Every structure is written in C-alpha cells, then in structure tokens.
Structure 1
Amino acid sequence: MPIVTIKMLEGRTDDQKRALVEKVTEAVTETTQAPAERVSVVIEEMSPAHFGVGGTRASDKA
C-alpha cells in the first residue's frame, strides 16, 4: 500500500488539494500498478513562520 506524504505551506484551496490528491494517486497507480483504493495521500500543511530556506523564514519574505 503506497503512502505519499506532501508537505507544503498552508494557503491552498480545497479544490487545489483535491486535485493534488487525485493527480498524485493517478501517478502512483500508473507507476506502481497499485490499485487506487490502496494509495494513501497525506497533506501536511505548515505555517510560513514554521518553514525557512537559506536562513529566512517564508513568512519574512514579502
């Protein structure tokens, strides 16, 4: 049973997240031949204050 975890900054709409889950499931079933009902997709959202790159938090970028 494939489990895919996606970590991203919060702010996407429900429609965007729904489409993401659908497309990721399609990609996994296509490449692994796992049945779609066995593919799990977990979206973990984080605040921009909790993520940084190159010493700068995402919330500090304008």
Structure 2
Amino acid sequence: MPIIEMHLLEGRSVEKKRKAVAAITAALVESLEVKADTVRILITEHPVEHFAVAGVTVGQRNEVTCP
C-alpha cells in the first residue's frame, strides 16, 4: 500500500489538489502496478508564515515580489 505525503503552501484550490491526487494515483498504479484503491495520499497545507528559506518566510518574500 503506497502512502504519499504531500506538503503544500496553503492557497491552492480544491480543484488543483484533486487533479494532483488523481495524477499521482495514476502514476503509482502504472509504475508500481498497484490497485488505485490501495493508494493513500495525505495533504498537509502550511501557512506562508510557517515556511522559510534562508531566514525569510514565504509571506515576507511575497510582500517583496508582489507589491
């Protein structure tokens, strides 16, 4: 039973997450030769202030790049 854990920054639509889940499931069915009903996918969303690179949160970076 494949278990996939995805960490995403919050803000993506339900439609995009559903599309990603379907694509990942299809890829695992093909590549690992498993049944779709055995694939488990966990999505954890993180606020932009809870993820940082080089001491700067994504929220801070967005403030600078999106006036």
- TM-score band w.r.t. shorter chain: over 0.9
Identity of aligned residues (%): 34
Residue identity in the other structure for 1:16: K
Q: Does 1:27 align with 2:27?
A: yes
Which structure 1 residue ranges, 5 or more long, are not aligned? none
Distance 1:47 1:33 in 2: 35
Q: Which residue of 1 aligns with 2:48?
A: 48
Residue identity in the other structure for 1:29: V
Distance 1:54 1:20 in 2: 28
Is the helix fraction higher in 1 or 2? 2
Superposition RMSD in Å: 0.7
Where does structure 1 differ by over 2 angstroms across 4 or more consecutive aligned residues?
A: none
Give 1 or 2 for the bigger CA radius of gyration.
2
Which structure 2 residue ranges, 5 or more long, are not aligned? none
